[in-house]
A = this chain, B = another copy of it.
Amino acid sequence: MTAGPGPAAAGAPVSEEIRRARVYLSRAVEPPNRHLVALVDRYGPVEAADRLRRGTVPDALLRAAAARRRIDLVDADLDAAAGAGARLLVPEDPLWPAWPFAAFAGCRRPDLVPPVALWVRGAADPAVLVARSVTIVGARAATRYGLHAAADFATTLARHGIVVFSGAAFGVDAAAHRGALAGGGPTVAVLACGPDRTYPAAHEALIGRIAEEGLVLTEYPPGTRPGRLRFLVRNRLLAALGTGCLVVEAGARSGTQRTASDATALRRPVMAVPGPVTSALSVGCHELVRGGQAVLVGRPEDALEIVGRFGADLTPPLVTERRPTDGLAAPTLAVHDALPARSAWPPSRIGEASGVEPDGVRAALTELEQRGLVEYHQGLWQRPARRDRC
């Protein structure tokens, strides 16, 4: 499953100084903060951390960091993470998912900035997992239909080698993770709390299994509690990490739609699974399609075509039942339709009823006889017994 340098190599070439600087920065300023990202871009993490500690940073950043910049919990954070089985991943690591996060650079929305660092549980290689991926999001209070659809799409996508990213929440998130695991694929949970926390608590076993089979990621330092704002902020990472974003059920106004907006802003295709128009939890999906923000996907294969290998994972044509009259030319079909269910007619009468010329009637009857759709007896034509009319 992993290619390139294995997990053991994670961070090996990165200096402790850089890693400690990023641990400090990831706690000092609540994400997302574009001023912090700009500072690190300009000076690198080590000098950026020094400047923030000394207070020699632009006012906007100084204000944003006022509550925490004097707090040094680097050792404690590293210890707490290690205790929870989590390791630090920084942009300087070869395993950093650089390609997905490059989308932030081309995006003008001030809240869409990359994380300063990631805390990671699980042995899989993040850089590999993001290569062919889909983010599945949707309602926590999903219906049975939504849970089924999320699991079904996730299973099929996982079977085709697509890694499913989601948020480990109740409802669609959990169904997507479970479906991916059922499909034999790794799956990645991106959390809105510290790596040492399990949210929701009821998903402790699920999140543990995700860490075993895939990865659990968060940009929040150990101890961080989740909250409504952090869910929204976390969603930008989900949007960036999937090659495409699949919305399964969403209310009219929901965090899910915000994730879809983030994905659009990051130039990720957004897909929406439709549902009954009578379901309040499909309204958001339908609005996304109606507004042109999402394409409708009715089958997992439709999604695979979008996030899969270009040209290789094309949607197979729909297989449909064939009717015995399929492929008949219009005059032949007219002759077929003209014959009554239980009477036998001469060709002249069939011609009148169908409006088809005598030669055409003869040709049509011959073709229909070959297909077993009409029978001839003593100058008269009739339908075989027990055939439906149309």
Identify the A interface with B (CB < 8 A).
Answer: 29-30, 63-68, 71, 111, 145, 148-149, 225-231, 251-253, 273-278, 282-283, 286-287, 289-290, 295-299, 302, 318, 320, 325, 330, 333-334, 336-338, 340, 348, 351-361, 389-390
Contacts and interface: CB of A to CB of B under 8 A. Distances in A.
Contacts of A351: 66-68
Closest 8 CB pairs of A and B: A227-B337, A30-B355, A274-B274, A286-B298, A67-B351, A66-B357, A228-B390, A252-B318
B358 A225 contact: no
Given A275-B277, A295-B290, A320-B252, A230 B337 contact: yes
A192 to B, nearest CB: 10
A149 B277 CA distance: 8
A358 B67 contact: yes
A218 B389 CA distance: 20
A68 B65 CA distance: 90
A69 to B, nearest CB: 10
A356 B30 contact: yes
Contact of A334 (B145, B227, B282): B227
B354 A278 contact: no
Contacts of A298: 277, 282-283, 286-287, 290
A30 B333 CA distance: 13
Given A67-B354, A67-B355, A274-B289, 13 more contacts: A66-B351, A66-B358, A225-B340, A229-B336, A252-B318, A253-B318, A273-B277, A274-B277, A274-B286, A282-B298, A283-B318, A286-B296, A290-B298
Contacts of A63: 357, 359-360
A34 to B, nearest CB: 13
B274 A353 contact: no
A290 B296 contact: yes
